[in-house]
Amino acid sequence: MSDDYPDWFKRRRRYPFFRSWFFEDVDKMFREMEKMMEEEFKTFTSKVPKDYVRERKRPDGTTVREWGPFVYGYSVKIGPHGKPEIREFGNVKPSRFGPQVKEEREPLVDIIDTDGEVHIVAELPGVEKDDVKLHGTENTLTISVDTPQHKYYKEVKLPANVNVKEAKTHYKNGVLEVTLPKTKEEKKSEPINID
């Protein structure tokens, strides 16, 4: 079995300084990892909006810097064709250059497409009804809240064209429900001339 090891390792194993050599390398590796993590944390905190950084005094008189809230989540549901639909929400978005923090938080939104209407359910915790602003077009719905305590923004791409003028809404306990009737689209066929 000792023939399986290279010569340099056999020599190191025979001497007592092997243990110190091994642990020195492990310590060096941990110090390098800590340094990389500190640099990443500095980069991340430099990109945080000013509203997400607060200082708080402790009872003993010391000051503590706090960041947040940072929210990232996703919901998964099986779509009509059996494929999973993944929707992200929150104010942190992953990217190639590290997490990006937005000032507005994307609410968790669920879209239910039925034969005659599109039903949207959005979670807006901590928000009063009067603070919610809705804007709709025939194929998008924009939900926004801009208060000192809460900032939400989400533009929802609708699965079908809808009639915004006949929208029905309901808001209770931080849950917004919007029902939009689909427009009746008549598919017309027209002849195409061949040149």
**Alpha carbon distance 148, 182 (integer Å):** 36
State residue 193's pLDDT score: 61
State residue 191's pLDDT score: 63
DSSP string, 41-103: HHHHHHTS-GGGEEEEE-TTS-EEEEE----EEEEEEE-TTS-EEEEEEEEEE--TTS-EEEE
> Which residues in the chain land under pLDDT 70?
1-23, 51, 98, 185-195
State residue 195's pLDDT score: 54
Name the 3-class secondary structure at 139.
coil
Helix axis angle for 7-14 and 17-46, nearest 10°, is 110
State residue 188's pLDDT score: 54
State residue 176's pLDDT score: 94
Chain centroid, CA 21 distance in Å: 44
pLDDT, tens only, 136-174: 988 899 999 998 888 899 999 998 899 888 889 999 999
CA dihedral 142, 112, 130, 69 (to 10 degrees): -80
CB 168 within 8 A of CB 179: yes
- Vertex 121 angle, CA 94 and 136, to 5°: 90
The answer to whether the bond into 69 is cis (omega within 30° of 0) is yes
